[in-house]
């Protein structure tokens, strides 16, 4: 009996050792087989043992790959670069050692990184994602998710180590960075965000939110002197910007040599008394309305004009009369 059990054990071990990874995409397989650091026995297949023991970097960008099936066998992989391919799906749930993931310029509609808790860098721009959740990635330091034409939400709660967030050119209507106190660099330009509060981000050094639908903005984070670049232009609905010290902001940001760029109707204040203000007693709405059209008093569509009565039309059917004074 002992002889039979020993034989079975040896047989199963040998069978497992020689088992090949299923890799249906010919281009992906060609890349892996051609990598001598992965294909250590130099045959025409990738064995499970080769995949599981590989703890390096897979860089298969620009390989015309449409299916990355087989990547799940690389359980020790620490860096994966698969950008600029034809991927419509990506399963990295078994790649729990990943520190870096670059998957930009594909056609991904879903990206689940909830199992990749060691992840420090995620680049997923130019895909078809509608939402992104990095709440389980508490080691994440850099998130680049730009030019995602269908992205409407990002869950950042739990991403406590996040230092840089680049999420411009999306369909975001809101952005909550209140839990990301380590944030240094924030770029959320060209979105549909109407309210933004970065008062809980004392380490912020560069902040750009141009070309949005902002109606209120709070940058009173107690450390405005650390903010070396503030870009808020092309936000026609934004007038008051809440800051630590209005006199200091005017002297250091808005002077000819300052790094501030805004619109003529904008001004600094310690208390804007709006939805973004630290002293506001207003309860934040669970849903936000978005500006869709600006009309003059004759009902004709018009761009924003200071010193002119205007009518703002929102996507919930409501309207608002607005008169912004330019001094």
Residues 189-220 have pLDDT tens digits of: 999 999 999 999 999 999 999 999 999 999 99
- Residue 231 is predicted with a pLDDT of 93
Residues 53-100 have pLDDT tens digits of: 999 999 999 999 999 999 999 999 999 999 999 999 999 999 999 999
**Joined tokens for residue 325:** 């004074």
Q: Please compute the mean of the pLDDT values over residues 155-167 and round it to a whole number.
A: 97
Burial of 322 (0-12, 13-18, 19+ CB in 10 A): middle
What percentage of the chain has pLDDT greater than the value 90?
72
CA gap 253, 56 in Å, rounded? 45
Of the pLDDT bands very low, low, confident and very high (cuts 50, 70, 90), residue 134 is very high
Residues 107-123 have pLDDT tens digits of: 999 999 999 999 999 99
CA gap 238, 224 in Å, rounded? 19
**Joined tokens for residue 60:** 């298969």
- Residue 280 is predicted with a pLDDT of 47
- Mean pLDDT computed over every residue of the chain: 87
Res. 45: pLDDT tops 70:
yes
- Residue 85 is predicted with a pLDDT of 98
Res. 125: pLDDT tops 60:
yes
- Residue 306 is predicted with a pLDDT of 64
Q: What's the pTM?
A: 0.80
Q: Please compute the mean of the pLDDT values over residues 7-19 and round it to a whole number.
A: 47
- Going by C-alpha positions, the residue among 179, 187, 186 that lies closest to residue 161 is 179
- Residue 259 is predicted with a pLDDT of 77
- Going by C-alpha positions, the residue among 318, 129, 132, 294 that lies closest to residue 213 is 294
**Joined tokens for residue 4:** 């039979």
Least confident of 94-103, 147-156, 208-217, 288-297: 288-297
Q: Please compute the mean of the pLDDT values over residues 36-64 and round it to a whole number.
A: 97
């Amino acid at each position: 009996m002992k002889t039979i059990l020993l034989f079975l054990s040896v047989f199963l071990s040998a069978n497992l050792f020689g088992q090949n990874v299923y890799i249906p995409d010919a281009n992906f397989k060609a890349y892996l087989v051609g990598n001598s650091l992965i294909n250590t026995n130099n045959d025409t297949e990738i064995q499970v043992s080769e995949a599981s023991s590989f703890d390096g970097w897979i860089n298969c960008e620009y390989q015309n790959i449409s299916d990355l099936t087989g990547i799940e066998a690389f359980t020790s992989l620490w860096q994966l670069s698969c950008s600029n391919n034809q991927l419509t799906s990506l399963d990295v749930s078994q790649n729990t050692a990943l520190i870096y993931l670059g998957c930009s310029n594909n056609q991904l509609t879903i990206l689940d990184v909830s199992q990749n808790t060691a992840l420090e860098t995620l680049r997923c721009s130019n895909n078809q994602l509608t939402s992104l959740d990095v709440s389980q990635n508490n080691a994440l330091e850099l998130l680049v998710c730009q030019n995602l034409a269908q992205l409407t939400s990002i869950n950042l709660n739990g991403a406590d180590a996040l230092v840089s967030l680049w999420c411009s050119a999306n369909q975001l209507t809101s952005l909550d960075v209140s839990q990301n106190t380590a944030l240094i660099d924030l770029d959320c330009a060209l979105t549909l965000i109407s309210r933004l509060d970065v008062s809980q981000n004392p380490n912020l050094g560069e902040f750009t939110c141009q070309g949005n639908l902002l109606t209120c903005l709070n940058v009173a984070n107690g450390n405005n002197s650390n903010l070396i670049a503030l870009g808020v232009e092309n936000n026609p609905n934004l007038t008051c910007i809440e800051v630590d010290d209005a006199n200091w902001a005017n002297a250091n940001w808005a002077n000819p040599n300052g790094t501030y760029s805004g619109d003529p109707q904008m001004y600094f204040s310690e208390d804007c008394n709006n939805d973004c203000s630290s002293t506001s007693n207003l309860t934040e709405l669970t849903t936000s309305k978005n500006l869709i059209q600006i009309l003059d008093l004759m009902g004709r569509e018009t761009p924003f004009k200071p010193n002119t009565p205007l009518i703002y039309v929102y996507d919930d059917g409501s309207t608002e009369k607005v008169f912004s004074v330019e001094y």
